[in-house]
Chains A and B, each alone.
Chain A
Amino acid sequence: MSARAGTPLIEAQGLSKRFVKAPDLAERATALLGSAAARAEVVRAVDGVSFAVAKGEVVGLVGESGCGKSTLGRLVAGLIEPSEGRVLFKGRDRAQLVGAEAKAARLAVQMIFQDPYSSLNPRMRVSAIVGEAPLVHGLVPRAEHAAYLADILTRVGLDPAYARRFPHQFSGGQRSRIGIARALAVRPEFLVCDEAIAALDVSIQAQIVNLFLDLREAYDLTYLFISHDLGVVQHISDRILIMYLGRIVETAPTAELFAAPNHPYTRALLAEVPRISLEKRSFRPIEGEIPSPLDPPPGCHFHPRCPFAMARCRSEAPALVSIAPGRASACHLNGG
């Protein structure tokens, strides 16, 4: 299935995901007896998100806890269904595909997970973890399977001689590599990396980041790199999306974002990121807690903590509008 030139590889249109916790029997009973009405608890984890990723791009997705980036990553990978909106793969609605095309679309988007310890089945050998999928889906003829497996393991920096071992016999960094090998084994085109290096030591992180850069060239991959670590995201991404409480508040090419952030949240985030500095600095953080996604502030989600909040920000949610070629921001300060 090939795409027309210029069609983004993955496009999200108006994606929303709501998690609803309906009141259980006890809550409904107390409501009948007169206490506060039993409301279903709705968490709008992702709220009307649209963006596109072109082939070969590395898009960084940054945000703090509760912003919905993990949920968005899973929506893109197809692990959960959106409440609204759709995901286009090579220009076609993924939900509408059937049969072989649907399977191809599914295998083309793979995910690298955060926790190197729970993301591998502890009771399966590495050869099975990495080799099962290509065998089951018939991607590689049986005769060539062993060689294929050895090749993938070598590419990610593991010694194929250790393929018969179990995950617990490997270190955190090696387990990350096994997870990457598992994803590569089905020949994906798009990788969603969900905090893939957060749980690793700094020196190991460097190894894995280099691995990602190498694999991008070797396999012509496209990445959606989800992280809270701005340093890594700055290093590896071409373009960055900033999320806050379910909405994208700014997108820009990396260099421009760091040079001249537009949205107040982006500015606060960039200012507060600890960087290697040659002298002590004093911190002047923005006040306030990150609001709970169960009860987001009305209008612009950021207004309670924003130093520039106006009356309009409390009532009207700003739309994500283009402020320069390739840049967009959701803030009333930009006028309009």
Chain B
Amino acid sequence: MSVLDTGTRIEADRAPAAAAAAEETPLRRLAADFFESRVAAAAFALLCVIIALALLAPAIVPQNPYNLAEVDVLDSRLPPGSRAMAGYTYWLGTDGAGRDLVSAMLYGLRISLAVGVVSCLIATVIGAAVGLVAAYAGGRVESLLMRLVDLQLSFPAILIALMLIAILGKGVDKIIIALVTVQWAYYARTVRGTALAEMNKEYVEAARCLGFGHARILFRQILPNVLPPLIVVATVQAAHAVALEATLSFLGVGLPRTEPSLGLLIANGFEYMLSGKYWISFFPGVVLLATIMAINLVGDQLRDVLNPRLRR
């Protein structure tokens, strides 16, 4: 009970008539609180730019790096600023196979983001479902599911991913399956913890008193209140997924060579680092770093803002 509690309680006791006329949805409050931090606002802006670039890639780059007809192997390993035979400038140089780095990076960003986001979404759905069911059912069901989660979490992510890909083979869909398998357990654990706390609250008892069925209570009452920590974990895990995919590609077991993601581009350029052709690894590395950092910063601020105890 801090001295400030008197302050917050006084605000809450204000008559609604005196409150702002605008309808104050939780979303609007969230946005207002979120953008208070300049760092987070900047990170959010950066993230928007990155996503925009990735989405618009085909429209803005001079070359489609996956179309072998447009790539000239004679142009390989050119430094930034060189001119292409076709007339446009290689603003960031070319890589070992002759691909324009800007184009390759943006296309690679598309793949990285897509894989990261899709796997994150699927893992969220699976993990949240498991967590909710475990918390609500309790007893043996909960024990079983949570032991599965513990088992999953005790293995290093890379190891599992490598094993799965060795079994399933390469390809974008296989990578996504591997990433989902590695990630769902975090969501399950987070959701179960929050759901348990929410289930003890009186509004859930009230819902049972009003005769609502289990499904309605689970999805209409508990799930919306479990969303805040879930969103926070999802943002952080998205960054994780992107980094994991880059690691796998770097190790050579990720996406195929012909459709390189950022990780693969970094790997490709590794052999040339010491001979002075730094740009092939450097620029994709910077973009990867910026993406992951932006996601993490946004997730950080989200967590602070959504945490009821830290609020005001």
Contacts and interface: CB of A to CB of B under 8 A. Distances in A.
B214 interface: no
Contact of A133 (B24, B201, B203, B210): B210
A121 B211 contact: no
Interface stretch (A55-63, A164-172, A265-273): A164-172
B23 A165 contact: yes
A265 to B, nearest CB: 29
Contacts of B212: 132-133, 136
A166 B29 CA distance: 12
A166 B16 contact: no
A171 B206 contact: no
A169 B16 contact: yes
A115 interface: yes
A79 B224 CA distance: 23
Contacts of B202: 113-115, 118-119
Most chain B CB inside 10 Å of its own CB: which residue of A123, A124, A159, A172: A123
A182 interface: yes
Interface in A149-179: 159, 162, 164-166, 168-172, 174, 179
Interface in A43-87: 74, 77-79
Contacts of A174: 16
B221 interface: yes
A165 B16 contact: yes
Contacts of A121: 203, 207, 221, 224-225
Interface string B1-39: 000000000001111100100011110000000000000
Contact of A168 (B12, B207, B208, B210): B12
Nearest to B212: A136
B271 interface: no
B23 A164 contact: yes
Main secondary structure, interface of B, reads helix
A174 B13 CA distance: 9
Interface in B214-243: 216, 220-221, 224-225
B23 A172 contact: no
Contact of A171 (B13, B209, B216, B224): B13
A166 B205 contact: no
Contacts of B210: 107, 110, 132-133, 182, 186
Nearest to B308: A122
Contacts of B25: 166
Interface residues of B, number: 26
A136 B213 CA distance: 10
Given A165-B16, A171-B15, A111 B26 contact: no
Interface string B107-130: 000000000000000000000000
A122 B225 contact: yes
Interface string A117-149: 011111110000000110011000000000000
Contact of B203 (A77, A118, A164, A169): A118
Given A137-B211, A182-B210, A186-B210, A123 B225 contact: yes
Interface string B164-176: 0000000000000
Nearest to A129: B203
A94 interface: no
Nearest to A137: B211
B206 A119 contact: yes
A118 B308 CA distance: 13
B8 to A, nearest CB: 11
A327 interface: no
Interface in B178-206: 201-203, 205-206
Contacts of B224: 121, 123-124
B13 A172 contact: yes
A133 B211 contact: yes
A171 B205 contact: no
B312 to A, nearest CB: 12
B201 A118 contact: yes
A103 interface: yes
B208 to A, nearest CB: 6
A228 interface: no
A115 B211 CA distance: 21
A169 B15 CA distance: 8
A106 interface: yes
12 contacts: A114-B202, A115-B202, A118-B203, A122-B225, A132-B210, A132-B212, A137-B211, A166-B25, A168-B12, A172-B12, A174-B16, A182-B206
Interface of A: 74, 77-79, 103, 106-107, 109-111, 113-115, 118-124, 132-133, 136-137, 159, 162, 164-166, 168-172, 174, 179, 182-183, 186
Interface of B: 12-16, 19, 23-26, 201-203, 205-212, 216, 220-221, 224-225
- 9 closest A-B pairs by beta carbon, nearest first, are A119-B202, A123-B224, A133-B210, A171-B13, A113-B202, A121-B203, A118-B201, A111-B209, A106-B211
